[in-house]
Amino acid sequence: MPLYEHVFIARQDLSNTQAEGLIEHFGTVLSDNGGKVIDHEYWGVKTMAYKINKNRKGHYAYVRSDAPAPAVQEMERLMRLHDDVMRVLTIKVDEHKEGPSVQMQKRDERGERGDRGDRGDRRPRRED
């Protein structure tokens, strides 16, 4: 079966247990339709780049799944109809990486970003 990664944002006025309950609810939707949840993470309340439905913050959740396409389509359909879910993103991946997602890793565990190559002395210094 294909592998998927899902991220969804729930309303900020939910409690943490309600937001985690949404993860369990949509996991059962997948399993009822022939799929399974490999792993899930609750990322917590985060500030968004722009307002969505008059909300500045939202509960972020991440789910790794192994499910057929109809199960994923049904889960996404129910997420879009659910009043507490504001946004959904699903990505099909070739393989799931082991360990926690980058969002859950500590800063010092992520490694160095390295030189991007765009920060050199592009402009000559002004000599007075």
pTM comes to 0.76
Block residue for tokens 């609810």:
25
According to the model, what pLDDT value does residue 1 have? 78
Contact 40, 23 (CB under 8 A): yes
Nearest to 27 by CA among 63, 73, 74, 70: 63
According to the model, what pLDDT value does residue 123 have? 62
pLDDT value at 64 more than 80? yes
Contact 96, 62 (CB under 8 A): no
Per CATH, is 3-95 categorized as 1.10.10.10? Answer: no
pLDDT digits (tens, 9 = 90+) for 74-101: 999 999 999 999 999 999 988 877 777 7
pLDDT value at 19 more than 80? yes
Q: Ramachandran region of residue 34, left (φ > 0), alpha (ψ -120 to 50) or beta? A: left
